[in-house]
A and B are shown apart, each in its own frame.
Chain A
Amino acid sequence: MSLLSLTYEGGAARLQPGGRLWLPVSGHERELLFDTAAAAVAGPHGWLPGEGGLVANLRVWENCLLPLSYFGRPPAMADEALFQRLLDGLAMSMPDRAAFAASPAGSLTPRLRRVACGLRALLARPALLLAESEWFGRLEEVDALNLAGLFAEHCPHSAWLVLGSRRPAACWGFTDDDNREAS
């Protein structure tokens, strides 16, 4: 059963649960496709933009828990434990992780902002992950490998819709055959 069906270049592109779909679109068409996908599947969704993406006046931990707690229950100890496990997976030291979690999102460096977007998506365990291809391109190699491992472990059933000029690397599970299978 397909999770999402999009019209692309006159044809239908379908995305299965756990599937990968990368489409080389940009500009207004990309915004439209993202909006269509977000509206077609009930939330929470993971959102991984090339730039920004966090609510600036919330702290990192509030941002990370926002989609999870908006669609589910209030944050509990289990969520905090999961957040700590995810930070373990990023190999972040204890002082660094405390400062990172308590920082207002507006004060983060671009690198940490992209990592925080990844953590937010991981905590929500969404059925659908929407990502701009720039998010993958701008991740540092070590962060990319760590996050890819965490997504494979914690969100194995999430479907990925990536829009942008560059196909994500193979470590994210994207292969040349994905789009052929999805279409």
Chain B
Amino acid sequence: MSSAGLLWASLCGLPALRYWPVRRVLMKQLYFCGIEALPLLLFVGVAVGGIVVAQLHYQIGQSGEGSLQLLATITLGELAPMLTAILLTARSSSAMASELALMRFHGELTSLSRMGVNIHLYLVMPRVLGMMLACGVLTFYFAAASLVTGAIAVAGFGWLQELTRLSLVLPPATLLQCLAKGVTFGAAIAAVACARGLAGGHSGTDVPIAASSAVIRALLTVFALDLVFIVVRYYA
């Protein structure tokens, strides 16, 4: 099945969350893609906030308030969803694809089918949903870490006032777009990873091929989707 087909099947299969084993896979996925990835995302978010503000404030000479506004626009509009998606792709999509390819290689998918367990509902849907939720939430945390760092860099101890002022001038559409991008990118990354993992052959060499192919295709998909977001926002 193609990535788009898997994504659609996953969305249609949401009622399967009533099954305990499916919820258990979802929880494991949230832990792996969300909680375990949080320190990495926060570190990169802090670094990005510091770097962007340093460039704008100290190199270009932008005012502190202006630098922070620009940082917020860039981070919420592009950097947070894109960098979160790229980091999650590098970290989780290869793991997801190789796990499924290994399961296929060892005949575990056949075993599940023989027991009457639906592979798409048990393995794919919780992974797609888990990655969607994790990517959406991590995008928010990334942006928050970046903005707090930027505010500290330009205002020192007055960072809270700077952030409060920033929240008054930021349009809600920017926040919504950030969230929408995070969720969409997460869904795309997981769907591509699952499709590549399930499409592998029955040879051991298919496992690394599935992993690398999942990373490349997920990155291409994320960039293409970002372009679609820009076209829809500015030209539609």
What is A's interface to B at a CB cutoff of 8 Å?
34-35, 38, 42-47, 49, 51-57, 62, 65-67, 69-71, 73-75, 124, 130
- A-B pairs with beta carbons under 8 Å apart, 30 shown: A35-B114, A38-B113, A38-B114, A42-B116, A43-B115, A43-B116, A43-B117, A44-B117, A45-B114, A47-B114, A47-B115, A49-B107, A49-B114, A51-B107, A52-B111, A54-B108, A54-B111, A56-B106, A56-B108, A62-B24, A65-B21, A66-B21, A67-B116, A67-B117, A70-B21, A70-B117, A70-B122, A71-B116, A124-B115, A130-B114
Cβ-based interface call for B103 (8 A): yes
Query: In the complex, A68 Cα to B24 Cα: how many Å?
Result: 14
Using CB atoms and an 8 Å cutoff, list the residues of chain B in contact with chain A.
Answer: 19-22, 24, 99, 102-103, 106-108, 111-117, 122
A35-B114, A42-B116, A56-B103 given; name 5 further pairs at CB < 8 Å.
A54-B108, A55-B103, A56-B102, A65-B21, A69-B19
Residues of A within 8 A of B117 (CB): 43-44, 66-67, 70
Chain B residues near A46 (CB-CB < 8 A): 115
* 8 Å CB contact of A44 from B20, B24, B107, B115: B115
Contacts of A70 in B (CB 8 A): 19-22, 115, 117, 122
Interchain CA distance A73-B18 in the complex, whole Å: 9
- Chain B: CB-nearest residue to A43: B116
* A182 → B minimal CB distance (Å): 20
